[in-house]
Chain A
Amino acid sequence: MARVAVYITPKAGILDPQGVTIERALPALGFQGVSEVRVGRYITLEIDGVEGDELNAQVESMCRRLLANPIIEDFFVEIVDDREYPHESCGGSEEVIVGEETTPREAGEHAGSPWTAADPYASGQEQSGSEAEGNEDFEKGKEGVITPEDKPPRKAGEHAGSPWTATDPFAAGKEEVDKENREAGKE
Chain B
Amino acid sequence: MTAGTVSGTAAAEPGAQAPRRSVNFGIVVFPGSNCEYDAHHALSTFPEAAPHYLWHKDHDLEGADVVVLPGGFSYGDYLRTGAIARFSPIMQEVAAFARAGGPVLGICNGFQILAEAHLVHGALLQNRGLKFVCHPQYLKVERNDTPFTRRFEVGQVIQIPVNHNEGNWTAGSESLRKIEEQGLVVFRYCDEHGNVTDGANPNGAVDNVAGIVNETGNVMGMMPHPERVCEDQLGGTDGRGVFGSLIDHTLEQ
List which A163-180 residues lie within 8 A (CB) of chain B. Answer: 163-164, 168-171, 174-175, 177-178
List which A128-187 residues lie within 8 A (CB) of chain B. Answer: 158-159, 163-164, 168-171, 174-175, 177-178, 181, 185
Q: Assuming the A-B contacts A67-B79, A168-B72, A170-B73, are A15 and B134 also in contact, with contact meaning beta carbons closer than 8 angstroms in the complex?
A: no
Chain B residue with minimal CB distance to A171? B34
Q: What number of B residues sit within 8 Å (CB to CB) of A?
A: 32
What sequence of 0s and 1s flags, for each residue 115-158 of chain B, a beta carbon within 8 Å of any chain A beta carbon?
01000001101111111101100000000000000000000000
- The verdict on A18 contacting chain B, using a C-beta distance below 8 Å, is yes
Q: How many angstroms from the CA of A181 to the CA of B35 in the assembled complex?
A: 22
- What is the predominant secondary structure among interface residues of chain A facing chain B? helix
Residues in A whose Cβ lies below 8 Å from that of B204: 15, 17
Residues in A whose Cβ lies below 8 Å from that of B21: none
- The verdict on B63 contacting chain A, using a C-beta distance below 8 Å, is no
- The verdict on A71 contacting chain B, using a C-beta distance below 8 Å, is yes
Q: Could you tell me if A69 and B34 are in contact, using CB atoms closer than 8 angstroms?
A: no
What sequence of 0s and 1s flags, for each residue 8-48 of chain A, a beta carbon within 8 Å of any chain B beta carbon?
00000011011001000000000000000000000000000
Residues in A whose Cβ lies below 8 Å from that of B129: 17
Q: Could you tell me if A15 and B168 are in contact, using CB atoms closer than 8 angstroms?
A: yes
Q: How many angstroms from the CA of A72 to the CA of B32 in the assembled complex?
A: 24
Shortest distance from the beta carbon of B83 to any chain A beta carbon, whole Å: 7
Residues in B whose Cβ lies below 8 Å from that of A97: none
User: A: which residues have CB within 8 A of B?
Assistant: 14-15, 17-18, 21, 66-67, 69, 71-72, 120, 158-159, 163-164, 168-171, 174-175, 177-178, 181, 185
Identify the 3 closest CB pairs spanning chains A and B, nearest first. A164-B34, A170-B73, A178-B132
